Amino acid sequence: MRPFLALLATALVTSACSVATTDPGAGDDSDLTAEAATLKLTSDFRTNLVGAPTAGKGIGVEYALERLPQCRGNVGGGGPGWTVTGYYSENGGAARTFEVTALTPDGKDRIAKRGRIVPAAGGDVAIWFQVTSRFGCSAYDSQFGQNYHLAVKGSVPEAGASIVFDKDGRVSQSGRLVMGGKVRVRYEQARLPQCRRTERGNPVWAITGFAQIDRATPHTFDTAVAEGSERREIDALLDLPHAGELSLWFQVTSLGGCMQYDSAGGANYRFRIAE
């Protein structure tokens, strides 16, 4: 894979607003033979994928902590008051966390630890990283807001309905949104043409989707992956855990602070979820 610079600004991180859960299998080295691939993110800001990510099998993640040098500082007892956390999202689903650091034997510093995730299904996996400290500092490594995406071999979950946001401004729905099911959402990137910017031939802009059911905390999802200097659309599969109203809206951001919304004039796009 070609090298990318790291983006260290929270405004451009997709999926970071999602409520992350800890993956009980992440970081578990008890069955490394089940790993199908290894993702290496090195200190010179290169990424290298070895093997073929496959549903149900582990993906090892080797992350160089030098990529996120901010937020260092010790607490009163001399131990590190900072950590780096890995996040991943499958097909636009809720973010889950995995460990990429460990304490040194004397407890006075942090070192890199091999992470591990196990995708449950085929499709797209988005990965990003965050450094935080007890003093409120925070910074991200998210490939200019694109996140690091892996194509996973295996069956992609079925969706009983789909919603497409066309570049010409139309919104089309097929199928019924039903409690307990999924909806496939596709957002054409030309629909929000503002804020386009590239650095060294790579896009440093991103369109993030937001989904909210009734008054629950909004969930964010990626709408595309970087492909050369452009972005290629990907489908997000959103869970519909209960009946109610699904609200969708979208935001384009770019390095430098440009930002625009597609939100039906601030009313958001609304869809009914049946029981």
Query: CA-based angle 61:92:20, to the nearest 5?
Result: 65
| 8 A C-beta contact, residue 222 and residue 15 | yes
Mean pLDDT for the stretch of residues 227-251: 96
- Percent helix, percent strand, percent coil in the chain, to nearest 5: 5, 50, 45
pLDDT digits (tens, 9 = 90+) for 184-209: 999 999 999 999 999 988 899 999 99
pTM over 0.75: yes
| 8 A C-beta contact, residue 62 and residue 39 | yes
Chain-wide mean pLDDT for the chain? 89
Distance CA 184, CA 186 (A): 7
- For the chain, the domains span 10-152, 161-273
Per cent of the chain over pLDDT 70 is 88
What's residue 238's pLDDT?
97
147 Cβ neighbours under 8 A, 6+ residues apart: 13, 14, 15, 89, 126, 127, 128, 222
More confident position, 11 or 25: 25
What's residue 4's pLDDT?
31
Q: Is 89's pLDDT higher than 90?
A: yes
Mean pLDDT for the stretch of residues 96-116: 96
Nearest one of 166, 159, 161, 140 to 91, comparing CA atoms: 159
Q: Is 224's pLDDT higher than 50?
A: yes
